[in-house]
Structure 1
Amino acid sequence: MIALFYRIAILKRPIVLEIGILTCLLMMVWCYSLQKNWTTITANRQMEVTKRILVYPDELKFNGNFMTGMVTDVQTGQREAVIMSFKSPQMLKKIDKLTTPSIWLINGQLKPLIPHTNENQFDNLTYNHHRRICNQVQITQIEQVNEQKQGIIGWCHTLRKRLSLYFETLPYPLSTYCHQLIIGSSNEDSAGLMVSVKRLGLLHLFCISGMHIVLFTDLFRRLLAHLWWRKESIDIFLIIILPFYLLVGGGATSLVRAVIMAELGLLHRYLNLDRLDGWALSLLIGLVLDPLLLLTLGGQLSYLLSFVLQVLPESVRGFKQSLLLNLISLPSLLSYVYEVHLLSFGVSYLIIPLFSTVIFPAVLVGALSFSFFEPLAYLINAGLRCFQYILNWLADFPGMIHFGKPPLILALLLFFASLFVISQDASLKSWKILALLYVITGGIIHFPLNGEVTFIDIGQGDSILIREPFNHRVTMIDTGGKLSFKKPNWATARHSQDDAQRITINYLKSKGISQIDTICLTHHDADHIGYLTTILENIAVKRVIVPAGMEKQPALLNKVRNVTNTTPIIIPVTDSVKLSSFPLQILHPFFPGEGKNEDSLVLTGKFGGKKFLFTGDLDQQNEEKVIQKYPQLKIDILKAGHHGSKTASSYSFLQTITPKYAIISAGRFNRYHHPDEITIKNFQKLNINYLSTQQFGMIQYVYYGHNGKIKTTLRGDETSWTLPNYLHN
């Protein structure tokens, strides 16, 4: 802001300075009032509600018997997120087939949204704030569903839903392309399609954006010109229709920008704006609609790349333009995605012309022809399969750089250095300096001076990461996981990312970690090893150690067999086994077992001047055996056994090992009511400070040398409404 106003001041044009200051003041007032409104309407606890809600059918998503979506409270006008698990296939089918807006009378629980609870995890709270949503309603029963009288907005939502149902009848991958490119939504096959697209950095092609609006307007111009429409009439038609397409297309950030800029371009003769004026005005309008716009990857890339396209000289075209656009977007991409494929710098140059001249028109033709001439649609579908095969083939090429998340100051430095390089005909020396900055940033991420012991908030489960300074060794204790309960066939959910993918893998990639030296599995329960396959599929693992006897258990072997990558070495251990290059001492089991709770792997180690003890789900009886065999065992930080259950962490055990801190890893609203009140009272009697992932999210001990400190992702009050009273310390 200082640099901006300095630039405006040296222009010596008072009117520009006055308008700039006035605009900033208005934006500050707008942001403050919006933030205050969010604070006012956010619920502070869970409460039972009966209310009427306005539901647009295209804003509901279904996965098995589970529904999520956005609705509007009829009485207050507030937007709210909704979730519901259906008990019968009849009700599910009835709701899924709704195509018109409707008013529902519902019973349920209103609750505040939970923020992200792990470092670098997707922030659901901020994402919903973008959509002006502050609360969530968990629907328990739908009492009535009454059709709502439609206006123009309702008609747009109806059209979008009917198009979605029609696209679902198309063959794959044509159906997915239609969903992505025409109405900006996803269907059950989208995840598989988008894997290669994301790896190659082509995500912007499959999100409705400026290019799609240009193609749509060009298509309408050609069509209407053939019908002898006048140019002025065509412009007026496009000015009117584009806002409606904004609703039909899903209203994504990039689409909002593209529509605003298209509207300003069509109004050029009346507004007398040049291209940069139009871009700036579209940014201001975008910020009024969503003040958090530039805090998202989509917002940054959409406005940044469109800005660069406005200021690049006419002489910069073709591959050079594609390279510079990739370069300027790289700091933002690395800050959100943490990795980049080397092929993305060249593939986008080759794919974009093919996409705009062949793929996009073919998708439109395929969608239109399926209802009256199926052979043409299936021919186009075969072509799309070939295109998808090429994308998958390219994505499997070596060249994925696991860069990690740059620190904010370095990300900004990289961004401004990239701007400098592309803003002029930079010398070779400038390119070398930019390359050196990337090397230094990568070195800081991959060879950090600090180490960490991190208790990941993985829900009702355990997952602990130990990373030594300079990433010398990376060790993981358990992977977390969920117990699966059999559901009827109609309720079977399609594949979606599990918590390990969304949380653990995301965190590892943000730290530049692409290899784990050792995974320690304490026992065979699903909440400790359930996500093993996900970890092995995404991260290279050298070896897996398990309590002796567990290496024969089907629960473990099935997860390892399902891995398509290289299978790690499995090493069964007892306390008598000494492993090379392993930062922990094994204290239990004493002899082979079956991988049950009583056979849990117990590990201890010293990091940053503090001694840690990790006990898995070891029961009290075997805790006593451990301290009998190791009577001198004293520790600083204990991972509380069995998620704080009363079956572990006995008073005598705690009294012997004298921890200063106890870390409890347990899920919110878990069915076992962990941690138990008895365990909490034991901690309190012995003056042991206890921290729960339920309350504080990810808990980290970050250390330099022999000194460190405990950090938590949450302050502790954000999710207090989810906790029992005895956890409010």
Structure 2
Amino acid sequence: MLQWLCVGWITGLAFMGRNILNIQLSTSLIMLIAAFCYLGCSIFNPLLNTPLRRFVIVCLMSIIGMMLGQGYANQQLSQRLLNVEHKVQQKKVVVYIKNLNKLGNSSIQQPLEVLITQGDAIKWMGFLAPSSLKKAVDTQNTHDSTLELGHYYLLQGEVRPTHSYATPGAFDAEKWALEQNVMAGFRIQNIQQLDPAAVYALGYGRHLREQRTFQSRFLLWVEKQRLQLRAFILRQPVQNKGLLLALLTGDESLLEPATQEQFRRFGMSHLLAISGPHVLIFALMCCSALQWMVSRYSPLLYLRWPRQYFLSVPFLLCVLLYCAFVGFEVPAMRTMLICVLGIITMILRQQVQALKLLILSAALLLLFDPFSILSAAFWLSYGACFVLLRIYQTIQQQPRELQPSTWQRLSLAGKVLVESQWKIFLALFPLMMLFFKQLAWITPFSNLVAIPWIGLLIVPLDILAAVVFFIAEPFSSVLFQLNDLLLQILLAFLNVLDYWFKPQLIPFAMNIWMIGLMILALLIVFMPRGVLPKSWAALSCVPLCIPQFYAAPFQLSILDVGQGQAIFIRNGQHSMMVDMGGYYDKEKFSVGRQIIMPFLSVQGVAQLDQLILTHLDQDHSGAYYSIKNQLKVKEIYANETLKGDQSVPFQYCHAGMQWQWRQQVKFTVLSPPIQHLSQAAINKNENSCVLHIEIQGGAPYQNFLLMGDAGWQTEFYLLQHYPALKVDVLVLGHHGSKHSSAYEFLKHYQPKLAIASAGRFNRYGHPSGMTQARLDALAIPLITTIEKGTIEFSKQEQNMLVHAYRDKFSWLKRN
């Protein structure tokens, strides 16, 4: 029953941040309750002689596990959130450098341990100026970077809180920072090194004592070895320095952006990260060498200790050393825990059950690091392990030759490789959609060559070169150069595939219900034979093939796109967008590709019926140009002709245009007048397309007025020509600028709710204090995408409900 307690525990932790159960439990209390539950099941196990009793106990253990997991998640999350910074401010801090930095394209990212006189140190991510990066690269010696390992510094700079675009489907930077235990960013402006005496005088004697412990000194020594190895690889006359380093330690400092993009397009990014095979390869190499030495020089040792027991301790030590060397990444930790549990089971002479081993290792990993549950690496890693486990069980059930030939062994290995690739591709497809919303179709084929080439040749040679580096640097240099040739062969193969097939990441539009159905179908497929008919998997996928199966109720979402505007509207099978947000610098961040497309994906929308660009300022229309080749749009409306060749039907947006969806939603364009369209390019804001939306039923919010960037002039026009207009929700013109939302305009229409779409820390100060004062004077509530993220109105029966995305997760809440 222990595995069911662990399954419940993992499930409870998976809801971290949602506060389903408002309980908090400490680690010691959780372990005590779990021990009592396990002992109770062991004592009463003989009484569980009927399926019904076993089912009741399984349910009870799973529920207890969920409660323990949720309570532990709440307790750990609330503690970590206490240290998160929320304000931009200048600050002086004392820091200790204990982790290796990362050389980025434009700066050095340096993890900082910020010391606190009362309490434990907290982690910030420091950013050094490009001049420091240039100095480190030009000298080809990463020891010359400004902040050195094992030293204390007094830093002055600007604290930058981590900020996410809180939109469904978009990358959650705040969740990532929380998972990495990074409480803030810090732009370093001034550096002063401190000696231990100065640190002690400042009141940080406790931290000095902690750094003298064996564990701290060992981890610092490991980081220094990683730094030396990176500096050595940087000096080598090889072409693929970044790949050599990334495949060895997971450090992507030297990796070229073009190489990263190529691996991403082929769906091979996971090969650049440290995984379980890396750890096992190193441990097996060391243990094989040890076994050879014992067999040759002292074989009698095996009479005293059987080989598997004798090698288990060195094996675990090698696993632990490599995990420390790569910074205890999730896949490495998973492998270490599986190895520990497997060896304990072997020593106790218990039967090894692979699935139970997998579940127990996941539960233990989450006990040590509960925030791993937020990482895509956790789910993908254990998902791949589950598939490989099922393949292994299938092979074990098949009859085998007593003495297979070499050809039969090679044939079996090839069959397993092909089978594992397409099964892993299918099994992880829902998870890839859930986390990344896109996939490369060529992934199974490229992995057929890349995985054995990297796993059997490049990684072992990389590890051997690294080990030799600490013994004989010249020989290590030769091995790295040989490995570089192997990498060039692999990249040449990928370039040929690139030339022939030109693979691209394909975006998929799948909402949570579609993904759930796919997971159900795949679980049926991967279940052991005889449990359920495999044909049921096809039945569960039937709704995916019928677009009309799910008719969405009315939904209007004001997306968090930073300083800009993007509004999504849907009813039934109809969907449209009003504006798409800004373009900015697509090399650093693309609103279209990284917010709009992922959002539409989780909504299950692959095509828009209409796109209305209220005007062609970049913060309203810019993102469209970056995704126009990936997103299908039936018709575009704007107040002036779009730039470039347009294959999509286009209409000018002007007052008097009307249309309806299913007699339930009515759209009316109120401005600009058709005679003013000739002035749209000159006066973009005041000629914005102003859209009024009326919904049948849905109190208290049935009438929406979307103002674009319109200001006082347009508001006066609306008062003159539409005095009887009903407005329940007003999306403020020009992001809440002081030159829009006039007092008389607000007083006349008296909306029940006002919304401002603006970016956090924007340089314009939107929404302005004057606009907020007018709204306060008229008792009109204001909510903003700055504080609430994406704001969604959804109709349920005859009621219109309002949901804010930042209220959904604890780490996104501003207060």
TM over 0.5: yes
Partner residue of 2:522? 418
**Correspondence for 2:76:** 34
**Which of the residues 637, 653, 670 maps onto 2:745?**
653
1:335 maps to 434
Residues 682, 308 of structure 1: CA spacing in aligned structure 2 closer, same or farther, 3 A cutoff? same
Return the index of the structure with the highest Cα Rg.
Answer: 2
The structure-2 alpha-carbon separation of the partners of 1:185 and 1:9, relative to structure 1 and needing over 3 Å to count, comes to: closer
Corresponding position of 1:513: 605
| 1:436 alignment partner in structure 2 | 539
**1:534 CA displacement:** 2.6
Q: 2:756 aligns with which of 651, 664, 667?
A: 664
- The corresponding residue for 2:186 is 138
Paired position in structure 1 for 2:512: 406
Matched, 1:528 2:620: yes
Match of 1:546 in 2: 638
- Provide, for residues 294-321 of structure 1, a one-character-per-residue CA deviation record: whole Å limited to 9, x for no partner: 4433212322432443452324762444
Question: CA separation in 2, counterparts of 1:259 and 1:387?
Answer: 33
Q: Tell me the residue number matched to 1:244.
A: 321
Counterpart mapping for 1:462-473 below 5 A? 462-470=565-573, 472-473=574-575
Compare 49-58 and 6-15 and name the one that shifted more. Answer: 6-15
Note if contact 1:701-1:708 (Cα within 8 Å) is conserved in structure 2: yes
Counterparts in 2 of 1:192 and 1:542: CA distance versus 1, 3 Å: farther
**Mapped partners of 2:779, 2:68: distance in 1:** 52
* 1:242 Cα deviation after fit: 2.5
The equivalent residue for 2:331 is 254
**Per-residue deviation at 1:698?**
0.5
Q: Is the 8 A contact 1:607 1:706 kept in 2?
A: no
Change (3 A) 1:112 1:55: same
- The equivalent position to 2:577 in structure 1, one of 475, 478, 497, is 475
Contact 2:615 2:684 (8 Å CA) reproduced = yes
Q: Does structure 2 retain, via aligned residues, the 8 Å contact 1:68–1:83?
A: yes
Work out whether residues 726 and 749 of structure 2, in 8 Å CA contact, stay in contact via their aligned partners in 1: yes
Corresponding residue for 2:43? 14
Distance 1:328-1:574 versus aligned 2 partners, 3 A rule: closer
Distance 1:3 1:222 in 2: 33
Taking a change above 3 Å as real, the CA distance of residues 414 and 476 of structure 1, as seen in their structure-2 partners, is same
2:365 maps to amino acid: G
Instruction: Give how far 1:588 is off.
Output: 1.3
Establish whether residue 101 from structure 1 lines up as the match of residue 150 from structure 2.
yes
Match of 2:652 in 1: 573
- 2:678 counterpart of 1:592: yes
Q: Report the secondary structure of 1:642's partner residue.
A: helix
Q: 1:288 to 1:9 in 2, by over 3 A?
A: closer
Alignment correspondent of 2:402: none
Q: Distance in 2 between matches of 1:645 and 1:365?
A: 62
CA distance 1:166–1:138, change in 2 (3 Å): same
2-side partners of 1:6 and 1:90: how far apart? 47
* Matched residue SS, 2:678: coil
**2:376 equivalent in structure 1:** 297
Give distance in 2, aligned partners of 1:509 and 1:189: 30
Residue in 2 that maps onto 1:356: 455
**Mapped partners of 1:44, 1:378: distance in 2:** 45
Alignment partner, residue 185 of structure 1: 251
CA distance in 2, matches of 1:439, 1:172: 53
8 A Cα contact 2:174 2:812, kept in partner: no
Per the alignment, residue 618 of structure 1 pairs with 710
Which residue in 2 is equivalent to 1:726?
A: none
Q: Aligned partners of 1:717 and 1:219: how far apart in 2?
A: 45
Instruction: Determine the C-alpha separation between the residues in 2 that align with 1:445 and 1:46.
Output: 48
Write out per-residue CA displacement over residues 94-137 of structure 1, whole angstroms, 9 at most, x where no aligned residue.
Answer: 7846553332212346676556622233333333333344x325
Q: Give secondary structure in 1 for the equivalent of 2:628.
A: helix
Aligned length: 694
Amino acid at match of 2:319: L
Q: Secondary structure at the match of 2:595?
A: helix
Q: Which moved more, 1:39-48 or 1:539-548?
A: 39-48
What pairs with 1:114-133 in structure 2 (closer than 5 Å)?
A: 117-133=166-182
Question: For 1:29 and 1:660, how far apart are their aligned partners in 2?
Answer: 39
What is the rounded CA distance, in whole Å, between the counterparts of 1:116 and 1:476 in structure 2?
18
1:174 corresponds to which of 225, 240, 247 = 240
CA contact (8 A) 2:691 2:705 kept: yes
Cα–Cα, structure 1 residues 534 and 426, in superposed 2: closer, same or farther, change >3 Å?
farther
1:260 positional shift: 2.6
Deviation at 1:696, TM superposition (A): 1.0
Question: Displacement of 1:519 after TM fit?
Answer: 3.4
- Secondary structure of the corresponding residue to residue 286 of structure 1: helix
Give the secondary-structure state (helix, strand or coil) at the position aligned to 1:530: helix
Are 1:697 and 1:712, in contact at CA under 8 Å, matched by a contact in 2?
A: yes
Contact 1:287-1:293 within 8 A present in 2 as well? yes
CA distance in 2, matches of 1:92, 1:5: 53
Separation in 1 of the partners of 2:631 and 2:562? Answer: 21
| Local SS of the residue matching 2:772 | helix
Q: Secondary structure, in 3 states, of the residue corresponding to 2:168?
A: coil
SS of 1:144's partner is: strand
- Aligned partner of 1:382 in structure 2 is 488
User: 1:286, CA displacement in angstroms?
Assistant: 0.6
User: Offset at 1:67?
Assistant: 4.0
- Taking a change above 3 Å as real, the CA distance of residues 447 and 52 of structure 1, as seen in their structure-2 partners, is same
Q: Equivalents in 1 of 2:325, 2:483: separation in Å?
A: 23
State the TM-score, normalized to the length of structure 1: 0.80
- Aligned equivalents of 2:67, 2:783: Cα separation in 1: 42
Q: Is the 8 A contact 2:230 2:245 kept in 1?
A: yes
* AA of the residue aligned to 1:143: I
- 1:606 is aligned with what amino acid? I
Is the 1:199–1:395 Cα contact (8 Å) retained in structure 2? Answer: no
Matched AA of 1:14: I
Q: Shift of the alpha carbon at 1:675?
A: 1.0
* Residue in 2 that maps onto 1:489: none
Distance 1:212 1:449, change over 3 A: same
Measure, in 1, the Cα distance between the counterparts of 2:316 and 2:709. 64
Instruction: Pick one of 622, 634, 637 that aligns with 2:729.
Output: 637
SS where residue 464 of structure 1 aligns? strand
Q: Deviations over 1:522-581 (max 9, x none)?
A: 334332233333332543345544323x64xxxxx4xx58xxxxx544847252685999
Unaligned 5+ runs, structure 2: 8-36, 46-56, 137-143, 197-210, 299-306, 399-414, 470-474, 662-666, 697-701
Alignment match, 1:487? none
* 1:81 aligned onto 2:81: no
CA contact (8 A) 2:735 2:758 kept: yes
Contact preservation (8 Å) 2:330, 2:378: yes
Percent of residue pairs identical: 19
AA matched with 2:43: P
